[in-house]
Structure formats: C-alpha cells, structure tokens
Structure 1
Amino acid sequence: MELWTGLYLVSFLNMACCLPESSYTVHLIKDSFENAQNYCKPGSFLTNIPNEKEMDKILKTIWDMNNKTTTSFWIGLKKDKGICVEKYLPLKGFYWTVDNSTQSDAKTWKTQPASTCANVRCGLLSVEYSDSGAKSNGFVDAGCKQKYPFICKRNVKLVCPRPEILATHDMIEPSNDPYTRQIVCPSGARFNLTCSKDLIWTLVGDKNVDISQLCMECKKGYRRDASGNCVDVNKCDESKPCQQPCLNTEGSYKCLCSDNEDGICNGS
C-alpha cells in the first residue's frame, strides 16, 4: 500500500485563486483572539481578507449560518505593542497574522482604530444584515482579550494525508476540492470523507467512525449502514426465510411454530 506521511502541498490549481466558499468556517462561540487563533490551527488560520472577492466569499459563509444577531467576528488582524496606529496606511499599522502582510484591497475600516502605540490591538470584521444577505461595515479594532465569534480559513498549503482504508476500494478525488474524498467499496457502498481542521479525514455525518474499516466485510448477518457501522440485517424482512412467523435475532433469525413446546421450528 502506498503510504503518504506528513503534510502535503496542494497543487497550484487548488491554491488561493480558486479557494471555494467552503474553505471558510464561521464559529459562533465567543473567545479571545489568541484562543480563536489556536482553535483554527493546524489546518486553518484566523482569516485574512486581501480583496473584495474573498470578502464576498466570507460574507456568503456568514449569511449561510442563518444567524442575524452576530455582527462582529475576529479575523487575523493585529497590531503589536510598540507599533503605532498610522491613519494613512491601508491597515493603519495592523498586519495579517498569517503572512505579516500590511495590504488589503478590500474596503477596510468602519471607524479609525484607537490611536495608540503602547497597546496590542486586534481586528474584527463588522457586518450588518439585510433580507438578501450579509454586508461588510469594515474592520473594527478591539482589545485582544475580549471575546467574540471568529472566522477560520483553510490553509491551502496543507491538506490531510491520504486516507488509509483497509480492503479493496476506489477513491474519488474531486479536482476542485482537496478537502473531500469519496470511498467506493466492492459492495457498492459509498462514503464521503472530509478533511477536518486537525488534518484528519472523518466521515461526513459521524466524525467518530473508524474510516479505515469502511470497506471491511461485517460478520455474517451484519452489513454496514450509511454511517459505516456494522448493523444487524433483518433477515425476516429482507429474505422472507420462513413459511411460519419469523423472529429476527442478532445476526440470524428463528422461524416460530406454535405446535412445538418451545415455539421454535425444527431446523430453523
């Protein structure tokens, strides 16, 4: 079996120019800037917003959360202690934590950030809602220990290692999405996987399933359900094995006969 270890570079065609909306995740739980940063790692980071195109994708992701009460989100924008706010710079002395860039082509500040050199400040995206979508009000600065919801963005330089699936199988790898795979087993069963923020492949719908077992045969009388678990097959309903009433049991069945003392037909 071919083993892939460590972290993998995404091909050029899957880089930031082609980043889908699904590469952003909005987390409504409130936390400090530092904790939000740590939560996004290792497969993501607090999002940057380098241009209006990426802003539009983020706003769509926020809108799709169907939550119109949250209007401020931590993004990966920060000003260090000892650096002064510069009102003539695009990011006013702040920088994107992912790459230390100080540029953004997006419409930026809602209000002028607090004029300080002495304090660390962090950046929020301010939004408002209409009947048709979410709209950006620009960036707002705040104390980094304050707690707000936050937005993570996939790190396009990192993807999950190749999933290790035991037994024969086919794997479908979408050319435009490095974060999903479909496993096709000899039985015809299909399972969709997603690459988690922790760079681990998980089954869509049940992240706790051992994906390595998805195509392994279950013991006699069992088969895998949509969640990849081996479940009992109801032989009575499926194959109608009895001429008499049928009782399904774990992994098997019994035919019931009223004329026998124990109610079980001979040979069942």
Structure 2
Amino acid sequence: LRPLTLTYLTFFQALFGSQHETLCTSNTCFTFHMEKANFSKAHQSCTNNGGQLMTIRDKHEEDVLKSLLSRIQRESHSKPPAFWIGLKLHKKDCVVHGKPLRGFKWVSGEEDSSYSNWKKNPPLTCTTDRCVMIDYTFSVQDQLKWRARGCGGHAFYACKFYFQGMCQPLALLGPGHISYIAPFSKNPQKSRMNLLPKGTYSEITCSDQQSHYSVCTDCEINNDSVLCSCKDGYDLDEDAFSCRIGDLCRPDTCEYQCVMGVSGFFCRCPHGFHLDANLRTCSDIDECQLQTCEGHGCVNTPGSYKCPRSCKKHCAEERCQKVCEGNMDSSCSCPDGYIEDENFCVDINECASNWCQQMCKNTFGSYECSCREGFVPSTNGKCIIKAEDGEVSSTPATGFVKPATKNNPMKSSSVPAGAFLWVWVVVAVTVVITIFVIRLYVVKKQRNRELNFTQQPASPVENNQC
C-alpha cells in the first residue's frame, strides 16, 4: 500500500454541530458532510463545489476514508451513520454479479475499477435506478461495507476534490487575523489550516483594519505587483490569480464524448456502451448475455436489445395441455375460448348459453350462428326475415369471444343479452297487434251482416180473387 500522508484542514465541533470535516493528502481533499440529502442532491452539492461524490477505487482510498471517519468517531464519541458514495446503476443497465462493481458505474465518469467491498450482492434488476452507500462499523476490522438501495433516500455523503498541490499558510508580521475559504467551501474555516489546497482564498485583516486578500497559486512578486503564471497545460483564470486546467478535448480525443474534469479529461460512452481498456473508444454491451429476455430469444442491437413479441396461444382440439412459463402455476394460461381444468385447457360450449338466436355451431375456441330458411344473418348473432326480392345468404353469423379466465368459466361473445330480450318484446307486441286487428276486422264484418238483415223488407202477400 502507498503511505498515507494526511493533514486535517478544518474544524470539527460535534457530529451534528458542524457542516463538514475535511482531510487532505498531497493532491486530494475529502470532505464528510453532516447534512442529509438524497443521492442526486448529494452529487450536485459535490459538483457545484468543483468535486465529485467519493470514489473508492482501491484500498488506498478506502484507508483515507477510514482515517477521516475514525477522527469523527474519536472527536464526537458517536458512530457516523451510513453515507453515499459516487457509485450508481442507471435504469436499463443491469446488475452483473460476476463483475467487481456489479454493473454499477462511478458518477464521475471514470473507468470501472477492480476493487469492491460489498456487504451482499445487490438484487438483480435492469429496470430501476440503484445507488450505493457505505455502512461504517468502528469495532471490526472490515469497517466499510457497500450496499445498494434506492436513490431517493436521505443520508450523509462524502465528496472528493483533486488539486495540483498544496500551499503553506500565510504568516502575519504583526497583529491581525487571517481567514481561509477552501475552493470547495462557501464559508471561512474556523480552525487553523496547516496546508492550503491551491485555489484557497484568504482574507487578511491587519491592525489598521484594512482588508487584504490572497489566492493560493503560483505567483511572482515584481516591483510591488503580483504576476501570476501557470504551468504547461494550465490557463490563467479570469481573476488573474488562479489557474485552471486547459481544455484537452480535441475532435479525435474520444470516440464519442470528451469531458473536462478538475484533474484532466475523461471519455464518456453513450448508453448501452462501455469504455474500452484504452479509455478512449467504446464497445457495445451485449445485454443478451445477461438473460435480459429471460430465455425467450434476445436480439442484441447497437446500444440496446430487442425481446421477441409473445405469440398468441392456440389449440386445435377440444382438450389441450396448459401452456406454462416457469415452474409456477400462476404462470399457466389457456387460449381464448378455453377454460382451465387441472393441467388441461377445455373448450367452452357457447351454444349451451344460447348466444345465437336460431342455430348455433360450437367450434374450437369460438362458435358460429346461422339462420333457418326464410331468414338471413344479421349482427350480434341475430336473424332477420329475408326480403321478398332478396337472396338467402349462406354465410353464418360468427360469434366473437373474449378470453376465458378462471373466474369467468363462460366465454363472452359480443352479443349482449339485452338484445335478445328486445327482439322477443318486439315479436310479442307484433303478434298482439296482429291478433287485435284481425279480431277487430271480424267483429266489424259480423255487425255489417246483422245490420243488412234487419233492414230487408217483408215479402208482399198475394191477393187471390175468386
């Protein structure tokens, strides 16, 4: 292991009484933040201050974090709670138990690392965002254990900042006060800083109450004026004091996207691709190797994959074996028009439910309606009287059925039950009216006969004269 050269920079009042605790090595600073946030806000807080969520890419970085947490433990006599690190599984990426990072990626965009310290394997998933936090246990040797959880929870977090070097603190030649604001902080530090990351801003108040300021950078003093310059690969910032790394991204630097960071550039791949070992080109991820389609046939495409559409179940007999997926009974089902009977699917006889008005023929998974002579098929399984100048159609009216379920043993056609009731009401009313008209006609004719009979004159009597 590399030797640890650690210098504590900032104050620590109590675990919940200060904003953060800071620890620096020769070119890196780590801050532990004691305000809770979800993963997204924690990541944003680190990047807004010029850093990133903590990465633990090797045992050296883990030992640095242990030193920071041990100090908190000793100073506060409290156990630091779980906290976020910058490791995340994005939606549509899959958990892979065979890899050190289990398919997770560092949000800093850096390449995958071979070191990990999982408490237990994260659950297999390709459909949800998952983030990693660390449980810190002071009393055991293996103190920092990783575990995956949802990204919306709230927890403390640790940030990491890269610097090109450290500066020595300023020395006052007379009465006064110096306050320092580190590049990753908005407020002055409350304790003495033994080393200053480059970019640290200092405000000096002398005995004459005049304020002066200084920036930790590479400067030369010439005739009472400050001339700042930067090393090769760095550009002088707009404040004329601090240096920023030059833009190293060129059109041919990365295959897809080049991103500038605090310590240099890194290449980023689009979704569905991974960074190659040369850290510049990208290769497609074969999602089909991860059993993404659960054994139903998978087609790998550039940056994605396709699962085949499921086929509609079919049975050409009165009784067929159930179709099951996996070993669970709940995954078994039957084609439309069939009902489960133990391990089989049995055709439903719709004709027994009188779905047709006149004649019905049961078929496998469905049924057909037809009409007697003198009638022609209409919609919804009904028959209508054939017009005098029309032709009798031999095409049966076929019923359409919905899928049968365990709770609905009969298939349902598109013919509503109320339609048949309406037909019978119309027929009954027609018959009643016809009988009434015929009876009215007969009664009227009989009355006319009786009236004609009563008005007929008597026959004259013949007079016989002798």
TM-score (norm 2): 0.34
- Counting aligned pairs with the same residue, the percent is 22
1:26 to 25, 32, 35: 32
Task: Report what 1:114 is aligned to.
Answer: 123
Structure 2, unpaired ranges of 5+: 7-22, 193-200, 211-466
Rg larger in structure = 2
- Whether the 8 Å contact between 1:78 and 1:120 is mirrored in structure 2 is yes
- Whether the 8 Å contact between 2:30 and 2:158 is mirrored in structure 1 is yes
Q: Measured at CA, do residues 203 and 81 of structure 1 come closer, stay the same or move farther in structure 2, by a change above 3 Å?
A: closer
CA distance in 2, matches of 1:192, 1:51: 35
- Render the CA deviation track for 1:159-206: whole Å, top value 9, x for unaligned: xxxxxxxxxxxxxxxxxx62x5523344265736351414x6845449
Pair 1:64-2:76 in alignment? no
2:182 to 165, 173, 195: 195
Structure 1, unpaired ranges of 5+: 1-15, 158-176, 220-268
CA distance in 1, matches of 2:123, 2:175: 60
- The residue type paired with residue 61 of structure 2 is E
Query: Once the 2 structures are TM-superposed, how far is the Cα of residue 59 of structure 1 from its aligned partner?
Result: 1.1
1:75 to 73, 85, 89: 85
- Whether the 8 Å contact between 1:181 and 1:193 is mirrored in structure 2 is no
Q: Measured at CA, do residues 108 and 119 of structure 1 come closer, stay the same or move farther in structure 2, by a change above 3 Å?
A: same
Task: Report what 2:205 is aligned to.
Answer: 214
| Structure 1 runs (4+) greater than 3 angstroms displaced | 16-21, 67-71, 188-192, 200-206, 210-213
Task: Report what 2:156 is aligned to.
Answer: 149
Task: Report what 1:182 is aligned to.
Answer: 169
Q: Measured at CA, do residues 203 and 49 of structure 1 come closer, stay the same or move farther in structure 2, by a change above 3 Å?
A: closer
Higher relative contact order (CA 8 A, sep 6+): 1
TM-score (norm 1): 0.57
CA distance in 2, matches of 1:146, 1:203: 30
Task: Report what 2:43 is aligned to.
Answer: 37
Task: Report what 1:101 is aligned to.
Answer: 111
RMSD: 3.4
- Render the CA deviation track for 1:80-107: whole Å, top value 9, x for unaligned: 11000000011000011113422142x4
Task: Report what 1:138 is aligned to.
Answer: 145
SS in 2 for 1:38: helix
**Of 117-126 and 181-190, the range deviating more from structure 2:** 181-190
CA distance in 1, matches of 2:158, 2:86: 9
Query: Once the 2 structures are TM-superposed, how far is the Cα of residue 153 of structure 1 from its aligned partner?
Result: 1.2
How many aligned positions are there? Answer: 179
SS in 1 for 2:170: strand
Q: Measured at CA, do residues 19 and 201 of structure 1 come closer, stay the same or move farther in structure 2, by a change above 3 Å?
A: farther
- The residue type paired with residue 81 of structure 1 is K
